[in-house]
Structure 1
Amino acid sequence: MAEHPVRSQDTSDGAQGTAADHEHAPADQGTPGAQTAWGRHHDVPDLPAYPGAVDPWAWSHRPARVAVRRDLIPAVSVLSAVSVFGLAVGWLWSALAPGMLVQVVDEGKLAAIRTESYHRFDDLVLFMLLGLGAGIVTGAAVWLLRERRGPVVFVAAVVGSAVAAWLAYQVGLSWAGSRFPLPDAPKLGDVLDLAPRLESAWGLIAWPLGTAIAYGLAAAWNGRDDLGRRLG
């Protein structure tokens, strides 16, 4: 009686068993590569496709762009409007800034009375505070122009604030001088009230700085690519 090789029988039986397993095994509907710790795929059902379906994991909006041409004319309008307010701030400073009492001494020289020289500092601080407050109001007001938010209008607001500060500086000194007229020929020992002065031009940066801070904080708080420019 001939003996059959054991290895060939095992191989044929294993092949038949493997084929049978494949026939009865359920079809894998999971996503490729998504396997559990036991080596089998997750069973993830396919989402139904219908018209208008949106992938929640895809970016559905286009990146925002700077509209230079469209914002150019509004930016010029913002610059002009902000500059005009420099006249109002200059008048307000000339009405609030204190004068400095001085006395006529030898050879027509003027000597400040005790503690009156502090008003030189007060005049500069008052001008800077008014400019800073006006800058914050300017930045907030320009930010409310929602359809024009962006770097173009921002630059226009800052430049307009700088022009407004310069106008306030010029007209403020002129109007302050008219409030404190000096006699034509002062005599020795006379006490005079000098007009307020601004001895430093650094006070001009307060207004544009306030505008930049207010607008920048609003833009940082908004946190959107288009700064909320698109309505709806």
Structure 2
Amino acid sequence: MSESSGPAHRPSAVAGPWSVPVLFRERRPRVVVKADLLPALSVALTLTVFSFPIGLLWSRLAPPERVRIISADGTQGALELESWHRFDDLAVFGFLTLGFGVVVGVVTWLLRERRGPVVFLAAVLGVALASALAMWIGVRMANGHYTITTPPALGSVIELAPRLESWWVLLTGPLGVSVTYSLLATWNGRDDLGRRLG
């Protein structure tokens, strides 16, 4: 009677990962810089054009702060809850630039042959510059819209022009571009971000 009645022990047919030589490695697409510089500059400069409509829209949407004249020399007294409009002015501007950044992120992504970090950075810088110009333009438009031409009477209520008291609000536009473009790039999942049209 044989010691083993089962099939003979055979070596495993599955080879380890080190047994198959890799002759040709897949080439990863490199970041295109030189060819994208001129389109990136065009994107950044084009975005600055939108600073005027954003500033104009903010100067009309942002609520003014109403105050009462409490003395003959023009001293102003705050009305209840009116000081909250100082935050409202920042919030309106922040939402405008955030929405602008999201739209720019989507439109920039649709430039399929130029997808990559160069045009992405140009979009971020262009939105940041457009937001800064929109702040400058919007504040001056609001000041002109709420100009007081005659000295107010004692006890009268006047409206002060909207104002932006923090430069941190300028981060909302670039944030919108960054988040939108990053989500689209992650969703795409290709090494070249789909630049090749084939």
On whether the aligned pair clears a TM of 0.5, the verdict is yes
1:67 has 2:32 as partner: yes
1:101 aligns with 2:72: no
Q: CA deviation at 1:59?
A: 6.8
Evaluate the alpha carbon distance shift between residue 41 and residue 172 of structure 1 in structure 2; reply closer, same or farther with a 3 A threshold.
closer
1:186: Cα distance to partner?
2.3
Instruction: Give, as a single letter, the amino acid of the residue that structure 1 aligns with 2:10.
Output: G
Structure number with the bigger relative contact order (C-alpha 8 A, sep ≥ 6) is 2
Match of 2:49 in 1: 84
Query: CA separation in 1, counterparts of 2:196 and 2:43?
Result: 20
Please state how far the C-alpha of 1:201 moved relative to its aligned partner: 1.1
Amino acid at match of 2:113: E
Matches for 1:146-185 after TM superposition, within 5 Å: 146-185=112-151
Residues 115 and 88 of structure 1: CA distance in aligned 2, closer, same or farther (over 3 Å): same
Query: Per-residue displacement from partner, 1:25-68 (whole Å, max 9, x unpaired)?
Result: xxxxxxxxxxx9732686xxxxxxxxxxxxxx987752111111
Return the offset for 1:187: 2.7
Which whole-Å CA distance do the structure 1 matches of 2:121 and 2:52 have between them? 21
Q: Deviations over 1:52-85 (max 9, x none)?
A: xxxxx98775211111110000000000111211
Structure 1 residues 59 and 192, CA gap change in structure 2 (3 angstroms): farther
| CA RMSD of superposed structures (Å) | 2.0
Structure 2 unaligned residues grouped into runs of 5+: 1-6, 14-21
Deviation (angstroms), 1:112: 1.9
Match of 1:198 among 143, 150, 164: 164
For 2:187 and 2:30, how far apart are their aligned partners in 1? 19
Q: Which amino acid aligns with 2:145?
A: R
* 2:91 partner letter: V
Q: Cα deviations across residues 76-101 of structure 1 (Å, max 9, x unaligned)?
A: 00001112112111111111111111
Cα distance change, pair 189–64 in 1 and its aligned pair in 2 (3 A): same
Task: Give the partner amino acid of 2:148.
Answer: L
Q: Secondary structure at the match of 1:192?
A: strand
- What percentage of residue pairs aligned between the two structures are identical? 50
SS of aligned partner of 1:193: strand
Match of 1:217 in 2: 183
Letter of the 2:121 counterpart: V
Shift of 1:110: 1.1
* Equivalent position SS for 1:74: helix
Which consecutive aligned stretches of 4+ in structure 1 deviate over 4 angstroms post-superposition? 57-61
- 1:38 and 2:9 are equivalent in the alignment: yes
Q: What secondary structure is seen at the aligned counterpart in 2 of 1:111?
A: strand
Give the TM-score, by structure 1 length: 0.74
How many residue pairs get aligned? The number is 183
